[in-house]
Chain A
């Protein structure tokens, strides 16, 4: 298939998952933020933005600016609206290869972005709506696109982004260090009920972090997401069956996953920030490696200049 199309699909997967994760984080943390006094609200808002990988534009950055930065700003790849807009743009460029169901659901989502009140109460609704739409997009991608190469690229993007998002959810623990932070972490990932069912009476930061990091059966855990990504990479490049890997991305993803899976520790919590950094780095390196291997013809032909 065309590299350009593959790249678009990969990024559709990533952007949709990014919107989904951001909506989840925003929904849960907004509730906490609201309970804080003004001054704290401001510093927490800035910290939350930092976890999401952006820097406040000014000192005046508070709750409303956070809502704009994470939910409504169409010109930023950090925000929900920006991600969903970019996903739709990618789908438009690959329209002939994606199913009409997938394209239409992305397009409808794009046009629905503006139909929400941008205050706190409206944002709760917005987040819910985004979760519904992204679930629909992934569902349609899984059920209406043949599970061939193109679908694999989409799932690859989704899995990598999911690992990255879960790492960010875990990082939000630093931001709201007081109170029931682990409940929030789990709620972000939609993992609260699953966690309670597996862990019975064992509650606490340590167990919750372990669950989101290492659980082999919960689909949003980092280990699970990395394994998904690994599976996709293996199917995309079946050449290295017997010995070694010639594929950088597989090496990076596999190493990151096995490092977590086989790591033994007595104090996971103190190591957590390091793990998170490692995971985020691995995801971005893997993403680069994938671009180099599968998408990157643009650089070599750069002297031609972009025609479109």
Chain B
């Protein structure tokens, strides 16, 4: 290994975490063979030049996220995260299983609530969730799917086991970075791609579009799909444009839509055009001023009624937030057993429910050792890591928990696994998580091979959110057999054709050549 990895062993020794690339004995795992071979050939100058070039490409292409009102390139690290085929098979199965369970749970919660009647989950828990929307109670959405797109966050603990950290079934974002990262890596570290089979990610937009079209209201032959964005100021606006572009559909804002007679139309130069499927990228609260926040300018009045009447499919369905409530999360293993009659493939992280008196007292005694999260937060907002918090912060947290125990959960501090990451002039271990994306078309749950690996760029930090100084890595799923589509399939060689078409050149090209050589 070159000097880039000189201090890696020492740095890795400072943490208990599982390292994705190296074993405890500092040998590269077999899945990383190709990557480590490629990196060994590079000098520091090469690596930094490539990293700079990748950052430039991102800025040029507008692969940015909004940070405090400023567009920043999403930092992409040059070392990919590699997942061997056998590990991926398990993850894939686990993610699909979870999506099926959550789908069943949502159908139930907005219908008869048998899950409550059978005593699996307390009624109060469902009804007190901030995202349980009575406005969408009692109807089956057109197309029959509620969780079209989901992102299930998983992490690997110190023992090397994958665990689910949280579910995102409202508006999971980040898939655009998966697509862009692969493109950038193919140009930034071309050597590592050569000899191994890496499963491609580029079919995602087509899978998504076909799932959305498949779940259109019945009786529509050629459904019109749109992506609904809150607008250019949204932090994920780049992703909205990319997905709309790659699917070849319109990117609409609320003001482009009108609802009439429980149908949705968009205003076009050719008059109003019926919209059948809306890929919704705005929060439920802002979607329909008639049902939710009356002051919202982002949505379109009447959407919820249109969905209720079956005139439009909204993906993901309104009211999904109740399923990714973090307190419901702690019940998901039971939900899987209840609805699917299966054992969970991927375990949860141990979670304390603070409503339960014993657990609460236990947690309040050990606040400085635990991670405490608000149940409806996303993007790492409001999260408190006990060991890093000051005394005052913990005191404030204690008061808030006592005032609203339903609003919080607590988990042990997990040592997320690490991957070498370029920092300054050498590689150091940095903690990562993984968000695989799943697309559900009603018959089948397809999991995008790979997903978004986010990395905390500060040494020792466990917060990977981009809004708090996180970056990302390209995620490679290795294929174990050439059966699955891979980045480059082995091909039949065709003979170089005999007839070679010759470039036409101006009549005096040859003369000029000799002339130039004489000069």
Give residues 153-201 of B contacting A (CB, 8 Å).
186-188, 190-191, 193-195, 198, 200
Give residues 152-178 of A contacting B (CB, 8 Å).
174-178
Q: Are the C-beta atoms of B500 and A32 separated by less than 8 Å?
A: no
Give residues 484-506 of B contacting A (CB, 8 Å).
485, 487-494, 496-497, 500-506
The one of B188, B488, B504 that contacts A32, using a Cβ cutoff of 8 Å: B488
Q: Are the C-beta atoms of B488 and A43 separated by less than 8 Å?
A: no
* B200: chain A residues within 8 A (beta carbon): 179-180
> Of all chain B residues, which has the CB nearest A298?
B507
- Do A36 and B194 contact each other (CB < 8 Å), given the known contacts A31-B187, A193-B245, A280-B501? yes
Give residues 448-504 of B contacting A (CB, 8 Å).
485, 487-494, 496-497, 500-504
* A78: chain B residues within 8 A (beta carbon): 503
Kindly provide the distance from the CB of B379 to the nearest chain A CB, expressed in whole angstroms.
30
* B494: chain A residues within 8 A (beta carbon): 47, 174-175, 177
Q: Are the C-beta atoms of A89 and B503 separated by less than 8 Å?
A: no
Complex Cα–Cα for A166 and B180 (A): 26
Q: Are the C-beta atoms of A201 and B209 separated by less than 8 Å?
A: yes
Q: Are the C-beta atoms of A196 and B488 separated by less than 8 Å?
A: no
Q: Are the C-beta atoms of A178 and B509 separated by less than 8 Å?
A: no
Q: Mark B186-221, 1 if CB is under 8 A from A, else 0.
A: 111011011100101010001001100100000000
Give residues 12-32 of A contacting B (CB, 8 Å).
14, 18, 30-32
Q: Mark A49-77, 1 if CB is under 8 A from B, else 0.
A: 01011110000000000000000000101
Kindly provide the distance from the CB of B56 to the nearest chain A CB, expressed in whole angstroms.
9
- Cβ of A121 within 8 Å of any chain B Cβ, yes or no, is yes
- Cβ of B14 within 8 Å of any chain A Cβ, yes or no, is no
Q: Mark B4-34, 1 if CB is under 8 A from A, else 0.
A: 0000000000000000000000000000000
Q: Are the C-beta atoms of B248 and A197 separated by less than 8 Å?
A: yes
Q: Are the C-beta atoms of B485 and A179 separated by less than 8 Å?
A: yes
- Cβ of B249 within 8 Å of any chain A Cβ, yes or no, is yes
Complex Cα–Cα for A222 and B333 (A): 58
- Cβ of A86 within 8 Å of any chain B Cβ, yes or no, is yes
- Cβ of A46 within 8 Å of any chain B Cβ, yes or no, is yes
- Cβ of A287 within 8 Å of any chain B Cβ, yes or no, is yes
Give residues 226-284 of A contacting B (CB, 8 Å).
277, 280, 283-284
The one of B49, B188, B488, B502 that contacts A53, using a Cβ cutoff of 8 Å: B502
- Cβ of A34 within 8 Å of any chain B Cβ, yes or no, is yes
Give residues 170-214 of A contacting B (CB, 8 Å).
174-180, 183, 193, 195-201, 203
Contact-residue size bin, chain B (C-beta under 8 Å from the other chain): 35 or more
Kindly provide the distance from the CB of A252 to the nearest chain B CB, expressed in whole angstroms.
14
Q: Are the C-beta atoms of A180 and B202 separated by less than 8 Å?
A: yes
Kindly provide the distance from the CB of B102 to the nearest chain A CB, expressed in whole angstroms.
28
Q: Are the C-beta atoms of A121 and B488 separated by less than 8 Å?
A: no
Kindly provide the distance from the CB of B429 to the nearest chain A CB, expressed in whole angstroms.
26
* B490: chain A residues within 8 A (beta carbon): 40, 178
Give residues 501-518 of B contacting A (CB, 8 Å).
501-509, 511-513
Q: Are the C-beta atoms of A37 and B209 separated by less than 8 Å?
A: no
- Cβ of B120 within 8 Å of any chain A Cβ, yes or no, is no
- Cβ of B137 within 8 Å of any chain A Cβ, yes or no, is no
* B504: chain A residues within 8 A (beta carbon): 14, 283-284, 287
Q: Are the C-beta atoms of B187 and A43 separated by less than 8 Å?
A: no
* B505: chain A residues within 8 A (beta carbon): 77, 86
Q: Are the C-beta atoms of A37 and B194 separated by less than 8 Å?
A: yes
Complex Cα–Cα for A86 and B507 (A): 12
Q: How many A-B residue pairs have CB under 8 A?
A: 111
- Cβ of B2 within 8 Å of any chain A Cβ, yes or no, is no
Q: Are the C-beta atoms of A125 and B489 separated by less than 8 Å?
A: no
- Cβ of B85 within 8 Å of any chain A Cβ, yes or no, is no
* B194: chain A residues within 8 A (beta carbon): 34-38
The one of A35, A46, A199 that contacts B193, using a Cβ cutoff of 8 Å: A35
Complex Cα–Cα for A203 and B207 (A): 12
The one of B492, B500, B506 that contacts A11, using a Cβ cutoff of 8 Å: B506
Q: Are the C-beta atoms of B489 and A53 separated by less than 8 Å?
A: no
Q: Are the C-beta atoms of B491 and A34 separated by less than 8 Å?
A: no
- Cβ of B53 within 8 Å of any chain A Cβ, yes or no, is yes
- Cβ of A145 within 8 Å of any chain B Cβ, yes or no, is no
Kindly provide the distance from the CB of B449 to the nearest chain A CB, expressed in whole angstroms.
15
Give residues 90-137 of A contacting B (CB, 8 Å).
90, 120-121, 124-125
The one of B210, B492, B513 that contacts A75, using a Cβ cutoff of 8 Å: B513
- Cβ of B398 within 8 Å of any chain A Cβ, yes or no, is no
Q: Are the C-beta atoms of A125 and B53 separated by less than 8 Å?
A: yes
- Cβ of B247 within 8 Å of any chain A Cβ, yes or no, is yes
* B493: chain A residues within 8 A (beta carbon): 40, 43
Q: Are the C-beta atoms of B190 and A178 separated by less than 8 Å?
A: no
Most chain A CB within a 10 A radius of its CB, from B248, B485, B513: B248
- Cβ of B263 within 8 Å of any chain A Cβ, yes or no, is no
- Do A177 and B190 contact each other (CB < 8 Å), given the known contacts A50-B497, A55-B500, A197-B248? no
The one of B491, B500, B509 that contacts A177, using a Cβ cutoff of 8 Å: B491
* A34: chain B residues within 8 A (beta carbon): 186, 190-191, 193-194
> Of all chain A residues, which has the CB nearest B183?
A31
Q: Are the C-beta atoms of B503 and A53 separated by less than 8 Å?
A: yes
- Cβ of A306 within 8 Å of any chain B Cβ, yes or no, is yes
Q: Are the C-beta atoms of A291 and B50 separated by less than 8 Å?
A: no
Complex Cα–Cα for A86 and B516 (A): 11
Complex Cα–Cα for A283 and B53 (A): 38
Complex Cα–Cα for A47 and B496 (A): 5
Q: Are the C-beta atoms of B248 and A196 separated by less than 8 Å?
A: yes
* A86: chain B residues within 8 A (beta carbon): 505-506, 509, 512
- Cβ of B1 within 8 Å of any chain A Cβ, yes or no, is no
- Cβ of B59 within 8 Å of any chain A Cβ, yes or no, is no
Complex Cα–Cα for A46 and B498 (A): 12
> Of all chain B residues, which has the CB nearest A280?
B501
* A89: chain B residues within 8 A (beta carbon): 512
- Cβ of B232 within 8 Å of any chain A Cβ, yes or no, is no
Kindly provide the distance from the CB of A28 to the nearest chain B CB, expressed in whole angstroms.
11
Q: Are the C-beta atoms of B491 and A196 separated by less than 8 Å?
A: no
Q: Are the C-beta atoms of A50 and B500 separated by less than 8 Å?
A: yes
The one of A11, A203, A277 that contacts B206, using a Cβ cutoff of 8 Å: A203
Complex Cα–Cα for A283 and B50 (A): 40
The one of B186, B507, B509 that contacts A291, using a Cβ cutoff of 8 Å: B507
Name 17 extra pairs, CB < 8 A, besides A52-B503, A178-B491. Answer: A31-B190, A34-B193, A35-B488, A36-B194, A47-B496, A77-B503, A78-B503, A89-B512, A90-B506, A175-B494, A178-B488, A178-B489, A179-B489, A198-B248, A201-B248, A277-B501, A280-B501
Closest 10 A-B residue pairs measured CB to CB?
Answer: A196-B248, A35-B488, A178-B489, A34-B190, A178-B491, A77-B505, A35-B193, A53-B501, A53-B503, A11-B506
**Residue contacts A-B, CB under 8 angstroms, 27 given:** A11-B506, A31-B187, A31-B190, A32-B488, A34-B191, A34-B194, A35-B198, A35-B487, A36-B488, A37-B194, A55-B500, A86-B506, A86-B509, A121-B49, A121-B53, A121-B188, A124-B187, A175-B494, A178-B488, A178-B491, A196-B246, A197-B245, A199-B248, A200-B249, A277-B501, A280-B501, A291-B507
Q: Measuring CB to CB, which residues of chain A are less than 8 angstroms from any residue of chain B?
A: 7, 11, 14, 18, 30-32, 34-38, 40, 43, 46-47, 50, 52-55, 75, 77-78, 86, 89-90, 120-121, 124-125, 174-180, 183, 193, 195-201, 203, 277, 280, 283-284, 287, 291, 295-296, 298, 306
Q: Measuring CB to CB, which residues of chain B are less than 8 angstroms from any residue of chain A?
A: 49-50, 53, 186-188, 190-191, 193-195, 198, 200, 202, 206, 209-210, 213, 245-249, 485, 487-494, 496-497, 500-509, 511-513
